Amino acid sequence: MIRVNENYLKIQASYLFTEIAHRVKAHQDAHPDAKIIRLGIGDVTEPLAPAVVAAMHKAVDDEAARETFHGYGPEQGYAFLRDAIAENDFQKREIDVASDEIFVSDGAKCDCGNIQELFGQDVKIAVPDPVYPVYVDTNVMAGRTGVNTDGRYSGLIYLDGNAANGFVPAPGNLEADVVYLCFPNNPTGATATKAQLQAWVDWARANKALILFDAAYEAFIRTPGIPHSIYECAGARECAIEFRSFSKTAGFTGVRCGYTVVPKGLVAWKADGSSAELRPFWTRRQTTKFNGCSYITQRGAEAVYSPEGAAQTKATIDFYLGNAKIVKDALLALGYDVTGGMDSPYLWVNVKGDSWEFFDRLLKEANVVTTPGAGFGRAGEGYIRISAFNSRENVEEAVGRIAKVLGG
Ligand code: PLP
């Protein structure tokens, strides 16, 4: 008799986005002429950089001729991309990461989700709250938790992000083996200082624990001094894996490319107390279950590091950051506490009340869609997330409408 993995039954249905879609549709049906502006989504809106498009066109032509055709590529990624990543994302910043520590993939979501396969079944997992749900759900699927009550799974440790800690939880006396951290953060837009990240690295080393550092929004960092990588912290190579993505960096949400850094010498522990290097484990995992990101995509990703590609992708991110500033300035002027919106495409707004009520108010009175914070975890109640991914025209229009509703 075929049995299901009953851990899947524990997963809370994605109430958040279904419910948002339902409410938006009901509103649109009732007001067919309403021009609804969506500031809820985490997807990019601007097209690929011309340099990336040109590189991908050329790569298609490569595939069209016997002499330049590529079939299966290396599972860890082509050397041309791994070298470009190591040089530009790390070595130029004097961060010690080599190309053979980089594993190219089809996105950070898969890597964040798959990495837990490397760990023992009984490891204690800590996640921030509010949180990007992938970290939680993949551990639920793997059977590392009990059931969900009141929005939290038993067996998981939740690290509350709140106004008091600036949405950057500290390790304190945490007893965990693995912690997921994400900065700049989705959903709060918060960034961590080097001292805050160093405290996590020191904690991990002292506790033989591992940090899974999600830097999917690294390209939005503009403030000097904010770390771009966990490996800027002393000792991080001994206790951290880092995830990066071209999705928000270069508009690859539909193209699909990301990478994971697993440093040489990074170990986890066996039952007998001896250690095992994680890099060969991840190599084995990827070579067994993944057949590489497409040649065409990787040539596109490589072009992000060309002088034109870098300038063009930076300009797009500056544009989104400009959107974020417009929204942030307007909300601050209206008297709201706002986190993020600098060094991040997300704004996390304290709505001083119920997040769904506030969502409904903006939907019904301003025709603007946001995301209720409660959907990202219990600690997200009382907040909404606003995204800067939209056209300037829509953002200005949305801000004008929001100001009218909230200011009046
Ligand atoms: N990590 C975080 C924090 C994200 O917000 C996202 C996407 O929204 C991802 C990872 C996934 O990125 P990718 O498109 O590379 O799978």
Q: Cα dihedral sign for 373, 377, 380, 382?
A: positive
Could you tell me whether strands 346-350 and 125-129 are parallel, antiparallel, or unpaired per DSSP bridges?
unpaired
Domain contains 368: yes
Residue 322 and residue 46 in contact, taking contact as beta carbons nearer than 8 Å: no
User: Peptide bond preceding 307: is omega within 30 degrees of 0, i.e. cis?
Assistant: no
Domain contains 365: yes
Which atom of ligand 1 is nearest to 109's Cα? 16
Condensed to tens digits (0 to 9), the pLDDT of residues 287-324 reads 999 999 999 999 999 999 999 999 999 999 999 999 99
pLDDT at 192 (0 to 100)? 98
Task: Answer with the one of 277, 307, 337 that is the final residue of a domain.
Answer: 307
Per the structure, the count of domains in the chain is: 2
Q: Are residues 209 and 284 in the same domain?
A: yes
Task: Answer with the one of 307, 325, 350 that is the final residue of a domain.
Answer: 307
Q: Return the structure tokens found at 121.
A: 């079944």
Residue 204 and residue 240 in contact, taking contact as beta carbons nearer than 8 Å: yes
CATH number at residue 326: 3.90.1150.10
Domain contains 202: yes
Q: Are residues 298 and 386 in the same domain?
A: no
Q: Return the structure tokens found at 304.
A: 């992000």
Q: Are residues 303 and 179 in the same domain?
A: yes
Q: How many CB atoms lie within 10 A of CB 255?
A: 20
Indicate if the pLDDT at residue 13 is higher than 80.
Answer: no
Domain contains 158: yes
CATH number at residue 249: 3.40.640.10
Question: Among candidates 118, 110, 162, 150, which has minimal Cα distance to 134?
Answer: 110
Percent of the chain whose predicted confidence (pLDDT) is above 70: 99
Q: Report the residue among 186, 212, 260 best suited for mutation to probe ligand 1: largest number of ligand atoms under 8 A from its CB.
A: 186
Condensed to tens digits (0 to 9), the pLDDT of residues 243-280 reads 999 999 999 999 999 999 999 999 999 999 999 999 99
Residue 91 and residue 97 in contact, taking contact as beta carbons nearer than 8 Å: yes
The residue type found at 161 is G
User: How far is CA 60 from its chain centroid?
Assistant: 29
Domain span at residue 80 reads 52-307
Q: Are residues 84 and 186 in the same domain?
A: yes
Q: Cα dihedral sign for 376, 213, 285, 174?
A: negative
pLDDT at 395 (0 to 100)? 98
Q: Are residues 138 and 246 in the same domain?
A: yes
Q: Report the residue among 105, 112, 183, 297 best suited for mutation to probe ligand 1: largest number of ligand atoms under 8 A from its CB.
A: 112
Condensed to tens digits (0 to 9), the pLDDT of residues 150-162 reads 889 999 999 999 9
Predicted TM-score (pTM) of this structure: 0.97
pLDDT at 16 (0 to 100)? 81
Confidence of residue 183 (pLDDT cuts 50, 70, 90): very high
The residue type found at 245 is S
Rounded distance between C-alpha atoms, residue 155 and residue 126, angstroms: 9
Q: Are residues 224 and 339 in the same domain?
A: no
pLDDT at 17 (0 to 100)? 82
Condensed to tens digits (0 to 9), the pLDDT of residues 103-135 reads 999 999 999 999 999 999 999 999 999 999 999
Condensed to tens digits (0 to 9), the pLDDT of residues 185-225 reads 999 999 999 999 999 999 999 999 999 999 999 999 999 99
Q: Are residues 25 and 156 in the same domain?
A: no
CA of 39 from ligand 1 middle (Å) equals 17
Residue 131 and residue 184 in contact, taking contact as beta carbons nearer than 8 Å: no
Q: Are residues 278 and 138 in the same domain?
A: yes
Q: Are residues 10 and 137 in the same domain?
A: no
Q: Are residues 289 and 389 in the same domain?
A: no
Domain contains 1: no
Please count the helices (runs of H) and the strands (runs of E) in the chain.
13, 17
pLDDT at 62 (0 to 100)? 98
Q: Give residue for tokens 């204690």.
A: 124
Q: Are residues 245 and 270 in the same domain?
A: yes
Rounded distance between C-alpha atoms, residue 319 and residue 317, angstroms: 5
Task: Answer with the one of 307, 323, 349 that is the final residue of a domain.
Answer: 307
Domain contains 142: yes
Helix axes 392-407, 307-333, angle to 10 degrees: 10
Q: Are residues 22 and 69 in the same domain?
A: no
